[in-house]
Structure formats: structure tokens, C-alpha cells
A = this chain, B = another copy of it.
Amino acid sequence: MSSTARGARARARIEVTAAIKEEARRQLAAEGAAKLSLRAVARELGMVSSALYRYFPSRDDLLTALIIDAYDSLGASAEAAHAAVADAVPLRRWVAVCEAVRDWALAHPHEYALIYGSPVPGYSAPRTTVPAAARVGILLIGIVRDAQQGQTRPVEPPLPAELRSEAERITADLAPDLSPEVVTVLVAAWSQLYGLVGFEVFGQFNRLVEERAPFFRHAVTRLAHGVGLG
């Protein structure tokens, strides 16, 4: 029999689990990860705090679940934005994905902090989060791959000798059909994108950059040029 009709108990379990995550996400959005309290979640749901441990063995496990959801939410936003301009020229698709990341981060600052800010507990990031976390990167790789069919700019400067073998290893892992030069720059651009977004979300641009949307667009356009687009 299907797992959805496996009895009232199983159904209740996934409903309660969802309700816990929903309320936890609300508290996260309202106050940040530091103030997320298991007891407050339980209280809001009308259950006693110890009952919550039947669903999440610890506060950190709850947070991990929220982290994965956040990665998925961000990935889905980026993919949707990309799909909306799927037929456009690569540069335009690149900018669309970057702007989707920025928009999501501004709309969900605490969740952004959870996944791209400081690691919250001792530090965790269990392997479970890897596939969800990779979605934006995969998107960017795909755009560059498509662009390589057409004409691209040269990537400068050339790889220094000390980086050659490492660049080839990363390329083999990530996108064997691209050149090590491009992949290296792409990985750097990927991290730099989050530098731009992080500075805006965490207030580092306060009283410095005001017109942030055009500033961001210009910066990620330059990033795109760096990987050979446009």
C-alpha cells in the first residue's frame, strides 16, 4: 500500500512535522536562528516541549532541516528565474540567476544567514545538504556551458603554473567539457556572487551603496564577462 495511506498515525506524523517546521521557520524569519526556541515552537503549537523531541532529536536537527529547506527554496527560486529567460542570451540568463539569488536573500535574510552566514552550532553542514546547496552552482555551470557553443571572450590572465593541476582536478569534478581556465574563474565568481549578496543583506553597504539593484546588476555583469559571457 502507498505510504500516504499508511494509517492515521503516519499521516499525522508528517503533518505535525510540517507544522513544526512551519512555525520554526516563522520564528526564524521573525527573530533569527539564535532566538529559535524549541519550547516556543512547542508552545505555539499547543504541545509540550518534550513531545517535540519525537520529531526532531535536537534543536540542531531542526535547524538542519530548515537549512536544507532554505537551500531548496533558494535553488527553486533561481531555477524558476532561469526558466523564465531560458531562451535568452547566456549573459541575460546569468544576470537573471544572480538577481534571483539576491532577491531571495533580501526576502529571506535570516534564512540566507543560516546557509551562507556563520555556521550556527559548533558547525555542521552534514552531507545531506550538499545536493540542495549545489543547485545554483549547477545553474551557473550550465549557462557557461551553453555559452561555450557560441563565441566567448578570452579568459585572462592565464592560469599560473602552481594552479594548473588543481584547476584540472576541479574541472574533472565539476564540468569536464569546460576549460580549466573557465572553471576556475567560475568557482571564484560563484563565491564572489555571495560576497556581493552577503554585504547587502548583512548591512555592509549601509550608508555606502544606496542604489543597490543597478549596482548589483553591474557587478554581476562584470562577473559574467569574467567567465567569458557577453
Q: Which chain A residues have a beta carbon within 8 Å of chain B's beta carbons? A: 31-34, 113-114, 116-123, 125, 156-157, 159-160, 162-163, 166, 169-170, 173-174, 184-185, 187-188, 191-196, 198-199, 202-206, 208-211, 214-215, 217-219, 221-222, 225-226
Identical chains in the assembly: 2
Q: Which of B169, B192, B203 makes the CB contact (< 8 A) with A125?
A: B203
The reply to whether B117 and A214 contact each other, CB–CB distance below 8 Å, is: no
- By beta carbon, the residue of chain B nearest A165 is B211
If over half of A's interface residues share one DSSP class (helix, strand or loop), that class is named, otherwise mixed; here it is: helix
The reply to whether B184 and A191 contact each other, CB–CB distance below 8 Å, is: no
The reply to whether A202 and B170 contact each other, CB–CB distance below 8 Å, is: no
User: In the complex, what's the smallest C-beta–C-beta distance from A137 to chain B, in angstroms?
Assistant: 9
User: In the complex, what's the smallest C-beta–C-beta distance from A27 to chain B, in angstroms?
Assistant: 13
In angstroms, Cα B219 to Cα A170, docked, is 15
In angstroms, Cα B222 to Cα A195, docked, is 15
The reply to whether A166 and B214 contact each other, CB–CB distance below 8 Å, is: yes
